Structure 1
Amino acid sequence: MDMTARAADGTEARAIDEGGGPPILVLHPGLDDGASWARVAALLAPRHRVVRVHRRRYRPDLTGPPCTVAQEVEHVLAVASAVGGPMVVAGHSSGAVVALEALVAAPSLFAGAVLYEPPLVIGPPLGGPDGAVHRRARAAIAAGRPGRAMRIFTRDTVRLPGWAALLVGLFVPLVPRMRALAPGQVEDNAALDDLGVRLDAYAGIDVPVVLLGGDRSPAHLGERLDALARVLPRAERVIMRGQGHAAHTKAPDQVAAVIGTLAAKVLPARDPRA
């Protein structure tokens, strides 16, 4: 079921609302609109109200300059307030960074969080010291070459092997949905750099947080989880064996189990008809 809520700046936040019970808010990764988390949501929905926010950055109906992370958080909080807390927030990749910022902005709405490999800045910017990665990717988008932009992103920021980045670059132009989402991914990356290092702010998050990762993911994502683990007062590390950054599609049962386990610990039972 589609859900809408009015954000603080008057724009309309959107989400997919399914299931019933204690609520779980899902913030999808880049190059997505929430669809990639459908299987995880379906596994959680028999016991939980699962609300997948369609992140503002990936909404083609919202025109104008690229939004900031703070503006994304406004949409998240509008949906979360409409659902009513407390809830668990599950964020994936850049969506997990948005989740961290939402936890800082409105801690009373959240009882816990699962953060799946957030690419938060912990040192040098994601786009390089001079932002060259962002400039090259933006130039590729401006030239009508989204595949090249995604090859740059996956090779130089995600740090996939060259052959894997090449495959991504070949795949994206062939899929209309991916072509439409590619500009948002470039700006997503730049927005994370604009945030800068926020570890001191995250140190004040005082709810249970599961830091989820895969042992086949790029090493730098594990390093970012390590940095979070050192500052979050109630963090737990969970490593999925044999999985990488896409376990939500390759092993949705494992991801759903991690989220469901945390939800069972931190959320009060709720009448599923409510």
Structure 2
Amino acid sequence: MSIATSADGTPIEFFAIGDGRTVVIVNGALSKAVDAEPLAAALSDAGFRAITWDRRARGGSGDRAGSVPEDEVADLAAVIDAVGGVDAVLGHSSGAVLALYAATRGVPTGELFLSEPPIDFAGTGFTPDLVDRLQALVDAGQPAEAVAAFQLDAVGLPQEMVEAGRTNGMLDALAPLGQSTVYDARLTLRLREPSAEALAVDQPVTVLRGEQTFPFLIGAADRLASEIDRAQLVIVPESVMHRADPVATARVIAARI
């Protein structure tokens, strides 16, 4: 375990495994560095040095009230600087959105691998007021309810699935990540309509998705790959229902950098 210090002084905890070219993994919503360990292990087995880290307001990393997407960009930049630079960044879900946004802000990401980015091109998903509702729940001491609201309104999980999580204790287990839902909502809103800079990044871009995943993510991945200059779409059959298969994903990266 190591600590990188972000531009605003926030400590960001990260972990390294393996030797070789460096790949930083950027997790999606409601996940921590530990959740990326299987992917990091697969990358290590494929000859890479893999970096996992806790995004702001998660796990061993700190936070600052009022954080915005630019702060998360600075967090990623701090991790990249702390590990001595990278050859690639692999972002999954909202982590893919953060990776792409960071590239537009001048962060030296190396090659970009964007796994099932939830970019709402049509603007048919949640509305901007969700950010304030989530923050109000966290401020009221109800972080588990913030997680539930995020799952319902941002992720689109069925009510019965969220209620099952309430019954089986999953919501309570995710409660420590309540504040991070605010940041994920802000981030995905920021790239709801990707800027010209986002669609013309200089880095080579590979967009990944499974064959069996949510229709919204299929549409988002395919459209993003078609609109980014020189991007390529890679379908990973082993990745199912928004879960990036570690070995297959590592194999795609090894073939491209």
TM normalised by structure 2 equals 0.86
Where do residues 27-106 of structure 1 align in structure 2 (5 Å cutoff)? 27-46=26-45, 47-58=47-58, 62-106=62-106
Work out whether residues 96 and 116 of structure 1, in 8 Å CA contact, stay in contact via their aligned partners in 2: yes
Q: Which residue of 1 aligns with 2:148?
A: 151
142 and 216 in structure 1: CA distance in 2 versus 1, 3 angstrom threshold: farther
Cα distance in 1, alignment partners of residues 98 and 172 from structure 2? 29
Where do residues 136-147 of structure 1 align in structure 2 (5 Å cutoff)? 136-147=133-144
Q: Which residue of 1 aligns with 2:214?
A: 218
Deviations 1:114-133 (A, max 9, x none): 111122342427432xx344
Q: Which residue of 2 aligns with 1:188?
A: 184
Q: Which residue of 1 aligns with 2:119?
A: 120
Work out whether residues 66 and 187 of structure 1, in 8 Å CA contact, stay in contact via their aligned partners in 2: no
Farther off after superposition, 136-145 or 9-18: 136-145
Deviations 1:25-50 (A, max 9, x none): 11111112211110111121141111
Q: Which residue of 2 aligns with 1:110?
A: 109
Query: Considering only aligned residues, what root-mean-square deviation do their CA atoms show, in Å?
Result: 2.5
Is residue 162 of structure 1 aligned with residue 159 of structure 2? yes
Cα distance in 2, alignment partners of residues 200 and 231 from structure 1? 10
Aligned length: 254
79 and 223 in structure 1: CA distance in 2 versus 1, 3 angstrom threshold: same
Work out whether residues 147 and 172 of structure 1, in 8 Å CA contact, stay in contact via their aligned partners in 2: no
Work out whether residues 55 and 75 of structure 1, in 8 Å CA contact, stay in contact via their aligned partners in 2: yes
17 and 86 in structure 1: CA distance in 2 versus 1, 3 angstrom threshold: closer
TM normalised by structure 1 equals 0.81
Three-state SS of the structure 1 residue aligned to 2:95 is helix
Farther off after superposition, 52-61 or 10-19: 52-61
Work out whether residues 140 and 148 of structure 1, in 8 Å CA contact, stay in contact via their aligned partners in 2: yes
Q: Which residue of 1 aligns with 2:248?
A: 254
Q: Which amino acid aligns with 1:88?
A: A
Three-state SS of the structure 2 residue aligned to 1:114 is strand
Work out whether residues 146 and 172 of structure 1, in 8 Å CA contact, stay in contact via their aligned partners in 2: no
Three-state SS of the structure 1 residue aligned to 2:155 is coil
223 and 121 in structure 1: CA distance in 2 versus 1, 3 angstrom threshold: same
Work out whether residues 17 and 52 of structure 1, in 8 Å CA contact, stay in contact via their aligned partners in 2: yes
11 and 63 in structure 1: CA distance in 2 versus 1, 3 angstrom threshold: closer
Work out whether residues 91 and 99 of structure 1, in 8 Å CA contact, stay in contact via their aligned partners in 2: yes
Give, in angstroms, the shift of residue 99 of structure 1.
0.4
Farther off after superposition, 148-157 or 29-38: 148-157
Give, in angstroms, the shift of residue 244 of structure 1.
1.2
Work out whether residues 55 and 75 of structure 2, in 8 Å CA contact, stay in contact via their aligned partners in 1: yes
231 and 199 in structure 1: CA distance in 2 versus 1, 3 angstrom threshold: farther
Work out whether residues 57 and 188 of structure 1, in 8 Å CA contact, stay in contact via their aligned partners in 2: no
Cα distance in 1, alignment partners of residues 110 and 62 from structure 2? 30
Q: Which amino acid aligns with 2:7?
A: A
Deviations 1:196-251 (A, max 9, x none): 5224121221232221112332222222212311221221212233601123xxx3
Report percent identity of matched pairs.
28
Deviations 1:64-95 (A, max 9, x none): 31411111111111221232335110001111
137 and 78 in structure 1: CA distance in 2 versus 1, 3 angstrom threshold: closer
Work out whether residues 152 and 165 of structure 1, in 8 Å CA contact, stay in contact via their aligned partners in 2: no
Cα distance in 2, alignment partners of residues 255 and 164 from structure 1? 28
Consecutive unaligned residues of structure 2, counting only runs of 5 or more, are none
Greater relative contact order structure (CA < 8 Å, 6+ sep): 1
Q: Which amino acid aligns with 2:241?
A: G
